[in-house]
Amino acid sequence: MSMNLDMISLNSEFSEGTGLRTEEMLLNVGPQHPSTHGVFRLVVKIDGETIKESLPVIGYLHRGTEKLAEGLNYTQIIPYTDRMDYLSAMTNNYVICHAVETMMGIQIPERADFLRVIVMEMNRIASHLVWWGTYLLDIGAMSPFLFAFRDREMILELFNELCGARLTYNYMRIGGVKWDAPPGWIEKVKEFVKHLKKEIENYHALVTGNEIFINRLQGIGKFDAKTAIDYSLSGVMLRSTGVKWDLRKDEPYSVYNRFEFDVPTATEGDCLARYQLRMAEIEQSLRILEQALGQFPEEGEIMGKVPKVIRPPQGETFVRIESPRGEIGCYIASNGKDKPWRMKFRRPSFNNLQILPKLLKGENISNMVAILGSIDIVLGEVDA
C-alpha cells in the first residue's frame, strides 16, 4: 500500500508551435473505481491524453494469509485459500492440497481426482465468464455482462449443490474432497456443458465478430514473448505471445494427462489476442469437462488414506498448477509439525500486474482501462 508520489515529478512546458502552455498532471484512479475490479489504485502522470508514467499501488486487501497460515494447521488453511483468488477458489483449494499431498506422497482416489478436475474446469469457465462480462463492461458494452453472469450463475448453483457455497467452497481436503457428487449432479453438469457450448457461439456472434470491438482492442497493450518471460507472466498473458505453455499439458497433475485438449496460443500479444485466448480456453475447458464426465468413475472412494494428523515430512516443496489467471504455486517449508513453518503462494495476478507500468507508458489514457482489464487480475490474489 505504500506509495511515494515524490518519485513522480511534473513538468510544464511552453510549446512555441501552438502557443499553448501544457502541464503534466497526476490522475488518481482508484482504489475505489469500478474498472479496477477491486481495491487497486493507479496513479498516472498524463500529458494531455498521453500517459507518461504510472505507479500501481496495491496492498489495500492485504490480509496476511501467509502469516495466518503459520498459525493454522493444513486443513484450516484451506478456507483461507478460497479468499485469495475468489473467482476460482477451486484451483486455490487444489494447489495447497496438491502441495501437501506431494510432500506426503498421498494417493488420491480416482473418483476424487475426477471430481477435482471437474470442479476446477467449471471454475475456470466461471472465472473466464466473469472476466468476459466485466471486461466488455469496462470497454463499454453492457449486455454481455448480463449474459455472462446468467451462465455463470448456473455454475455457482451447481457448486452450491455440491458443497454448499457459491464462492468460498472449501471443497477439497488433503487426500480427497469433502463431498461426493449428489445424485443427479453429474447429469446436471452434462446439461450445463451442452448449454454453454451453444451459448459460446452466441457470445461470439454477440461480441467477437463486432467490428467496433475489434478495432478497439487490436494492437493495444502489446508485448512480445521475451518481455513476457522476463516479467514472469503466465497463463493467457504468456500464451498470447506465442509461448505454448500450459501446466496442465506440460507438467500434468491430477488426471489431466487422460484428456485431450489443445493449448490455444496467439502471437500478437495484444488485448484482442488475450480476449480470443480466453474464449478459446472456455471451449477447451468444455472439452475437458465432456471427457471427464464421460470417464467419471461410477463409484469409489472420495478420500484417500490420510493420517489423522497431517504432518508433512521436514523439508520444503514448491508445486505450481494452472489457474485461470496463470501459474499459481504453493511453497511449504515444513519442520515436521502439523503447521507449516512458512507458506508462500505464488500468485499469478500479482506477477502479471507487474508489467502494467510498462504497458501503459505512452498509451492513450482511454486505453488504460482496456489494458488493465485484459490482464485479468483479482485483487484478493494480488494482495493475498
Partner 1 sequence: MLGFAKGLGYTFKQLTAKKVTHFYPDVPYPMPPRFRGIQHFSPEKCIVCNQCARICPTECIQLTGKPHPDPEKKGKIIDTYDINFEICILCDLCTEVCPTNAIVMTNNFELATYSRDELFKNLNWLDDNNTNVREEN
Partner 2 sequence: MSEEKRKPTPEEKAKAAAEAREKLEAARKAKEEQAAQASAPEAVASSPEQNAVKAEAEPASADQLAQAKAEAAAKAKAAAAAAAAAKAKAAREAAEGGATDTKAAETEAGGADADAKAKAAAAAKAKAAAAAAAAAKAKAAREAAEAGATETEAGGADADAKAKAAAAAKAKAAAAAAAAAKAKAAREAADGGAAETEAGGDDADAKAKAAAAAKAKAAAAAAAAAKAKAAREAGEGGAAGAEAGGDDADAKAKAIAAAKAKAAAAAAAKAKAAGGDAADTEAAPKAPSKNQPHLDHIVKLITEKFGSEVIEASYINELAKEVPTLVIKNENWHDVAKFLKENDELSFDYLSNLHGVDYEDRMEVYYHFYSYKNRQNLAVKVKTDREQPTVASVMNIWSGANWNERETYDLLGIYFPGHSELRRIMLPEEWVGHPLRKDYVPFDEEV
Give the residue with the Cβ less far from partner 2, 86 or 185. Answer: 86
Among residues 349, 351, 367, 374, which is the contact residue for partner 2, using CB under 8 A? 351
When CB distances are held under 5 to 8 angstroms depending on the partner's kind, the choice from partner 2, partner 1, none that residue 216 binds is none
Site for partner 2 contains 313 (CB under 8 A): yes
Among residues 315, 361, 362, 366, which is the contact residue for partner 2, using CB under 8 A? 315
Site for partner 2 contains 290 (CB under 8 A): no
Among residues 75, 242, 331, 364, which is the contact residue for partner 2, using CB under 8 A? 331
Cis peptide before 31 (omega within 30 of 0): yes
Site for partner 2 contains 39 (CB under 8 A): no
Site for partner 2 contains 135 (CB under 8 A): no
For 135-138, the CB contacts below 8 A with 24+ separation are 135/275, 135/373, 135/374, 135/376, 136/207, 136/213, 138/35, 138/369, 138/370, 138/373
Q: In DSSP terms, which residues pair with 191 in a beta bridge?
A: none
Closest CA to 96 of 122, 68, 118: 68
Separation in Å, CA 278 to CA 48, 135, 383: 33, 12, 23
Among residues 24, 197, 210, 229, which is the contact residue for partner 1, using CB under 8 A? 210
Site string for partner 2, 84-123 (x = CB under 8 A): ------------------xx-x------------------
129-156 as b/e: b if 16+ CB within 10 A: bbbbbbbbbbbebeebbebbbebbebbb
When CB distances are held under 5 to 8 angstroms depending on the partner's kind, the choice from partner 2, partner 1, none that residue 371 binds is none
When CB distances are held under 5 to 8 angstroms depending on the partner's kind, the choice from partner 2, partner 1, none that residue 314 binds is partner 2
Site for partner 1 contains 153 (CB under 8 A): yes
- Cβ atoms of 88 and 123 within 8 Å: the answer is yes
* Cell of residue 370, nine digits: 482496456
Site string for partner 2, 61-80 (x = CB under 8 A): -x-x-xx--x----------
Among residues 24, 161, 290, 316, which is the contact residue for partner 2, using CB under 8 A? 316
DSSP H helices in 51-109: 65-69, 74-82, 89-104
* Cell of residue 91, nine digits: 484451483
Query: How many residues touch partner 2 (CB under 8 A)?
Result: 49
CB of residue 85 vs partner 1: minimum separation in angstroms? 16
Site for partner 1 contains 205 (CB under 8 A): yes
The stretch among 93-101, 210-218, 241-249, 342-350 that binds partner 1 (CB under 8 A) is 210-218
Separation in Å, CA 110 to CA 131, 253, 295, 302: 31, 13, 10, 8
Residues 6+ apart with CB under 8 A from 351: 231, 232, 233, 234, 326
Site for partner 2 contains 242 (CB under 8 A): no
When CB distances are held under 5 to 8 angstroms depending on the partner's kind, the choice from partner 1, partner 2, none that residue 67 binds is partner 2
Among residues 16, 17, 21, 211, which is the contact residue for partner 1, using CB under 8 A? 211
Q: What angle do CA 205, 261, 269 make, to 5 degrees?
A: 60
Site for partner 1 contains 357 (CB under 8 A): no
Separation in Å, CA 172 to CA 91, 92, 271, 376: 10, 10, 34, 25
* Cα separation, 100 vs 319, whole angstroms: 9
* Cα separation, 326 vs 247, whole angstroms: 9
When CB distances are held under 5 to 8 angstroms depending on the partner's kind, the choice from partner 1, partner 2, none that residue 143 binds is partner 1
Task: Report the interface residues with partner 1, using CB under 8 A.
Answer: 72, 75-77, 79-80, 143, 147, 150, 153, 157, 160-165, 168, 170, 178-179, 182, 202, 205-212, 214
Which parts of this chain interact with partner 2 (CB under 8 A)? Answer: 1-4, 7, 58-59, 62, 64, 66-67, 70, 102-103, 105, 229-234, 243, 245, 250-251, 312-320, 327, 329, 331, 333, 336, 341-342, 344, 346, 350-351, 353-354, 383-384
